[in-house]
Structure 1
């Protein structure tokens, strides 16, 4: 299964690569050159296709759990001052996605969307300390009846040039459901109350919609 955001890119890529190979075969008579271009085209297309894969995730709904919104590696667990929405201290868990990770963003909690905003910006590498505030990004806050208000921020990386965010203010969302997509490398930060019990460690690999990153005690 592939994400809907990828179909246009995959079709355009396929048509372009086919055209390149047709021109190559008509103009070049050296077999190994034509064969090399064909192999490179196939490998490149497969890389594009794998990037837009969208595996089905059987999320176990639990209002006391905050789930990883994306696949990737935990690169930061720290207390920070969040100045866009909460304007107070929050516990931040950051997950970095490499180009080979699934890039679907999923709602870490279910509830009502209280805030959703897009910010244009730079394209610093995703692990840069200032990327959370200076890169292209979207910020979403979901109010959950147990966890309270949980924020997650999609952050574009050096390769990412477009963030897709489906969260709309006042919409009711289901934990683990599709929240958006970031194209070609990025990071997602999750902001929680400072007393939240974190269930992940630095450099741990997580799966969006499946891995529990934190637990809110009822």
Structure 2
């Protein structure tokens, strides 16, 4: 049976809940007879909520990606915070369309390939930890940039950027240069709040399918379509 927790969460997915269970037992046993019952119950409820959240953060729901090869799917769950058409980007030659997605601590944090691709280059950069809602975080925060080449027609390059946030301190990426990823395939995650960006070549053949404020799901929601 498939366990709906991501492998990218180890060891936290085991250690954090275990520590919380120990804390809950300590409160229950240590507070008996010396602490008001309401205080013990309140503390237990708070710890239980944190326990459930710790497991939910590393959840790995099944995703069945659309088979339409003209689509670029969302590389992350979250809310679209910015859409920009750029005459020139630091990552693609020529005009580019950039879509930024903010992931709160309540979103699924697994990153997925927008389409069928070959991984050409992966560039990790140390940086700051600004709030991921701030577009400036894309320029100064810790990040991991994947330059990808479509393996379907029409070809071309695209970029997915994993960007840490104010809470996140760990970017996970198991993709390898020269390897291939299928449309909607998981390749990593960012732990505890973050930002993910998609860059695709801009032009008349590209149609943006989302607006700022839209909620998207990785490997399911189409962001862009080739006309």
- Normalised by the size of structure 1, how large is the TM-score? 0.93
Task: Output one character per residue of 1:82-126: Cα deviation in whole Å (capped at 9) or x when no partner.
Answer: 21x325431101111111111110000112111111111100111
Q: Describe the SS at the equivalent of 1:69.
A: coil
Which of 48, 53, 56 is the aligned partner of 2:54?
48
Query: How many equivalent pairs are there?
Result: 216
**Unaligned 5+ residue runs, structure 1?**
none
Task: Output one character per residue of 1:15-53: Cα deviation in whole Å (capped at 9) or x when no partner.
Answer: 222322333334322222222222111111111111111
Which of 16, 21, 32 is the aligned partner of 1:13?
16
**Unaligned 5+ residue runs, structure 2?**
none
Maintained 8 Å contact 1:142/1:151: yes
Maintained 8 Å contact 1:63/1:147: no
Is 1:82 the counterpart of 2:126 in the alignment?
no
Within-5 A mapping of 1:62-141: 62-80=68-86, 81-83=88-90, 85-141=91-147
Q: Which stretch shows the higher mean deviation, 23-32 or 42-51? A: 23-32
Q: Which stretch shows the higher mean deviation, 159-168 or 19-28? A: 19-28
Maintained 8 Å contact 1:21/1:34: no
Distance 2:146 2:27 in 1: 47
- Normalised by the size of structure 2, how large is the TM-score? 0.89
Task: Output one character per residue of 1:126-165: Cα deviation in whole Å (capped at 9) or x when no partner.
Answer: 1223211210111012211324111110111111111111
The change in CA–CA distance for 1:129 and 1:60 in structure 2 (over 3 A counts) is closer
Q: Equivalent residue for 1:200?
A: 210
Q: Equivalent residue for 1:209?
A: 219
Maintained 8 Å contact 2:77/2:109: yes
Distance 1:122 1:5 in 2: 22
The change in CA–CA distance for 1:107 and 1:25 in structure 2 (over 3 A counts) is same
Which of 159, 164, 172 is the aligned partner of 2:172?
164
Distance 1:173 1:154 in 2: 16
Maintained 8 Å contact 2:121/2:147: yes
- Superposition RMSD in Å: 1.5
Question: Deviation above 4 Å: which 4+ runs of structure 1?
Answer: none
Q: Describe the SS at the equivalent of 1:13.
A: helix
